[in-house]
Amino acid sequence: MLAIDASDPTPLYAQLERAIRVAMATGRLNVGDKLPTVRQLAVDLKINANTVAKVYGELERSGVLETRRGVGTFIRKDGSRGSSMPDRERLLVELADRFLAGAATLGFSADEAINFLKVHWINMKREQSDG
């Protein structure tokens, strides 16, 4: 369900955090779902357990995950929606700006980038329903 790419120059902790957030956004992880233990996920992904613990800790501090002592780590009910709507919209605008700027750096127009995103989303939904 979660994957990282050792050949990607993005730090492993950033890849893992992004993978968890994408899994939530696409419905592969839902509110209340239990995540693997730090040790188990580290073994599965072949990364250091401290890296997994760092990501779980950061996501817990940001309100995305909650850890219940002796039970496990879960997707939190209110997830990252603890911020007010204007804060969330501001963050979404910043994310959109970064995405479009990154696409432009790669030589894509805003229309091409947005169309790619739409097709990618459709493919992700299709893979989810097939799997």
Q: What is the pLDDT of residues 69-79, one digit of tens each?
A: 999 999 987 65
The predicted model scores a pTM of: 0.67
> Where does the chain have alpha helices with state H?
12-25, 38-45, 49-61, 85-105, 110-130
Q: Could you confirm whether domain 12-75 is CATH 1.10.10.10? A: yes
Q: Which residues contact 52 (CB under 8 A, 6 or more apart)?
A: 16, 38, 41, 42, 45
For residue 27, the model assigns a pLDDT of 83
Residues 65-110 pLDDT 10s? 999 999 999 998 765 444 556 666 777 888 888 889 999 999 999 9
For residue 59, the model assigns a pLDDT of 94
So where are the chain's domains? Answer: 12-75, 85-130
